[in-house]
Amino acid sequence: MQLTIRDLSKTYPNGTQALKGVSLDVPPGMFGLLGRNGAGKSTLMRILATLQEPDAGAVTLGGIDVVREKARVRETLGYLPQTFGFHPRVSAERLLDHFAVLKGLESAGARREVVEALLRRTNLWAVRGQRVGTFSGGMRQRLGVAVALLGHPKLIIVDEPTAGLDPEERVRFLNLLGEIGEESAVILSTHIVEDVEELCSRLAIIDRGEILLEGEPARAVAELRGRIWRRAVARDELPALERALPVISTKLMAGRTVAHVYADAAPGAEFEPVEPDLKDVYFSVMAGHHGRRAPARAGAAA
C-alpha cells in the first residue's frame, strides 16, 4: 500500500510555515525522512497520523483519503510519536491488552494471543509482568512499537525513535524496525543520519518545510563520488578555509579539525579525496551544493 503526498502545506497561527508544498511517494519498505529539529518532520508526521490538519494539499494511502477519511486511516495505521506516556504502575502485558481493546479486539482469547505474539516479537515477554515505570528507554520504545503494531497496520510512522537510546538498545530497536519494514510501509522520521543509512531503501531530506532531495541513499552517495575532499587544519585556520571554499562539515580528530569540502576537482594539493557517505550527502544538500532532488522514479513526485 503506497502513501502519496501532494503539495502539502501548513502554516501555524504565529506565522511559522512548517510545510511548503511537500510532495512525496512512500512505497512499502523503510523510508527515511531526514532533517534537523524544526525542519517540518513532526508536523508532516502528525498530519499523516491524522492528528493535525493541513492547510492545503492531498494525502492518500492506497485508495484512502488521509485528510477526509481519518477513521479508515486509523484502522491501518501504527504511530510511535517522539514523546508518549504510559501509566507507570501498569504492567506491559496489561497495558498492551488495554490498547488491544481500544483497537477493537473484543475476544479475550484473541487478545491474549495477539498480546503474547507482540511482546515476544519486541523481546518484552520475559518482563511482561513488570511495571512500565521501571522500563529503560529502549524497553519503552519497544513497547511503543508493540502498541503501534496492533491491528497489522499497513503504514507505520515512527518519529525520532532512537533519540536518547544507548548503543545496544539503538541496534536492537533498529533491527526490529527493519523486520517490520519487510511487511509494511515504515516512515522513519529522524535527525540521525546513521539511522537512515543503515535501514532505509529510500529517503527524503527536508528543511524549513521543503523537500530538498528525494531518492535512494546509495544513489545519492554515488552521485557525490569525486566531489568530497578532506583536509586537516588548525582551529584558527578554519575561518579562512570556510571563506575560501565550500566547507560542508567539520570534525575534531586528535586535536585537529578535519574539514570536508565540496568541489568538482581537488581544491588544493593539501586535500585528499574522500569516499562519501550519507552524512556527506546530507551536509552537501543542506549547504546547497548538491542537487535538490535525486532523479525520481517513474510516477514519483517531480
Looking at residues 210-220, what average pLDDT do you find?
94
> Which pTM does this prediction carry?
0.86
pLDDT at 73 over 70: yes
What pLDDT score does 170 carry?
85
Architecture of domain 3-216: 3-Layer(aba) Sandwich (3.40)
pLDDT digits over 113-153, tens only? Answer: 999 999 998 989 999 999 999 998 888 888 988 999 998 89
What pLDDT score does 216 carry?
94
What pLDDT score does 275 carry?
96
Answer yes or no: are the C-beta atoms of 6 and 56 closer than 8 Å: no
Looking at residues 71-97, what average pLDDT do you find?
88
Looking at residues 236-248, what average pLDDT do you find?
94
pLDDT digits over 32-65, tens only? Answer: 999 998 899 999 999 999 999 999 999 999 889 9
Amino acid present at 120: R
Tell me how many degrees the CA angle 225-229-230 measures, rounded to the nearest 5. Answer: 135
Contacts of 302 (CB under 8 A, 6+ apart): 23, 296
What is the Cα 279 distance to its own chain's centre? Answer: 15
What would you measure as the largest C-alpha separation in the chain, in angstroms? 72
What pLDDT score does 297 carry?
35
pLDDT digits over 255-299, tens only? Answer: 789 999 999 999 999 999 999 999 999 999 999 887 544 333 333
What pLDDT score does 34 carry?
95
Looking at residues 158-171, what average pLDDT do you find?
83
- % residues pLDDT > 70 (the chain): 95
What pLDDT score does 81 carry?
83
pLDDT band at 161 (very low <50, low <70, confident <90, very high): confident
Domain regions of the chain by residue span: 3-216, 226-274
> What is the Cα Rg of the chain in Å?
22
pLDDT band at 175 (very low <50, low <70, confident <90, very high): confident
Highest-confidence segment of 176-190, 206-220, 288-302:
206-220
Q: Residue 24 corresponds to which cell in the numbers above? A: 512525496
pLDDT at 9 over 50: yes
Answer yes or no: are the C-beta atoms of 27 and 16 closer than 8 Å: no
What pLDDT score does 209 carry?
96
